[in-house]
Amino acid sequence: MSGTATDVMKRYRNGEIWDFENEMPTLARDVILGLDGGTTSTLCICIPLMPFSDDLPDPLPVLATAVAGCSNHNSVGAETAARETLEQVMAEALSKSGSNRSSVRAVCLAVSGVNHPTDQERILSWLRHMFPSHVKLFVENDAVAALASGTLGKLHGCVLIAGTGTIAYGFTEDGREARAAGAGPVLGDWGSGYGIAAQALTAVVKAHDGRGPQTMLTSDILRTIGLSSPDELVGWTYEDPSWARIAALAPVVVSCAEASDPVANKILQYSVQELAESVKAVVRRLNLCGQDGNDCFALVMVGGVLAANKRWDIGKEVVSCISKDYPGAYPIRPKVEPAMGAALLAWNYFKKQSENGLKC
């Protein structure tokens, strides 16, 4: 879709966002939509409806992708804005693929901020008005799609997401689920990019006013954001306290820790402990480790905070910390996007419902 965000909103309100369907010939090809909506960006993937088989093609087929901004209603501050983003990105993916809503067989929206069945039902309600009645609709937390991206659509094991925010989410083979963290920065998503950066900004302020040790975080952060004095930090921070803007400073903290700054190093060590404890909490509640604590389970690692660095590898340290208690944890770094995980979830859900329908 072209045009400014205001143009998109106008087209949305006028129903014009789907006008491309009027100029499109009817296609026989069935498609699946998978959407991963986070606090930073939203990605939608359109894939063909693959044959029902346990063996997935490699590489997985992709007809089209579309990207938009934040779709977490807690972050953007308005559910209408989040909904417009979700509809925009789905319409764009279908348009690019040469498909329309009648071609869709299943949709899985995996969106951060979906924390309760009421959240799911609210989104399902407007999805039902958007798509024809034959379309199977599923709504999950974005962590579920992230897990599926590592297990190729099968929900068993635990995922740890550490990007702008953080959450640990797990499933057992019989469908039980549990989560830890993921409550947003106000309620303490420590270990996330936001949490790391917020602690670093606090350390700079403390060093400046004499409440904490001096740290190279001061010079490096000020240089990164173009300020000349820590006195300017308060204005910079509250001018736009969006989660992603603050979280973008996390790599600066890693660089300082790699340069042996003790304050930055302490922040990252604390973050490792917090991230590991989130996973351990999920493992304990679901007994993913088995009775003797040694059973194997997938630990899917997703998010920029967990990406490997030269010397200070947060992801590696988190796995090491978890493995001390649960040696059966085997880390998986997905080869596909969480949006593909959402598409595979939709395909799996649709496959199961279709097979169950044939048995009836």
Q: For 146-183, write each residue's pLDDT tens digit.
A: 999 999 988 999 999 999 889 999 999 999 999 999 88
Which strands sit side by side in the sheet containing 297-302, from one edge to the other? 177-181, 166-171, 157-162, 297-302, 329-332
Considering the segment(s) 185-332 as one domain, its CATH architecture is 2-Layer Sandwich (3.30)
**Long-range contacts from 316-324, C-beta under 8 angstroms, 24+ separation:** 317/268, 317/272, 318/160, 318/272, 318/275, 318/276, 318/279, 321/272, 321/273, 321/276, 322/276, 322/279, 322/280, 322/283
Q: Is the Cβ–Cβ distance between 310 and 14 less than 8 Å? A: no
pLDDT at site 58 = 87
- Domain locations in the chain as residue ranges: 5-152+337-359, 185-332
| Residue 140 CA from chain centroid, whole number | 11
**Model pLDDT for residues 24-71, shown as the tens digit of each residue:** 776 668 999 999 987 678 999 999 999 888 788 889 999 999 998 776
| Structure confidence at residue 205 as a pLDDT band (50, 70, 90) | very high
User: Where does 5-152+337-359 sit in CATH, by number?
Assistant: 3.30.420.40
Of 1-10, 274-283, 299-308, which gets the smallest average pLDDT?
A: 1-10
The secondary structure of 175-196, three-state, reads CCEEEEECCCHHHCCCCCHHHH
Domains 5-152+337-359 and 185-332 share a fold: yes
| Structure confidence at residue 80 as a pLDDT band (50, 70, 90) | confident
pLDDT at site 79 = 64
Reply yes or no on whether the pLDDT at 241 is more than 50: yes
Report DSSP state, residue 260: T
Reply yes or no on whether the pLDDT at 11 is more than 70: no
Q: Rounded mean pLDDT of the chain?
A: 89
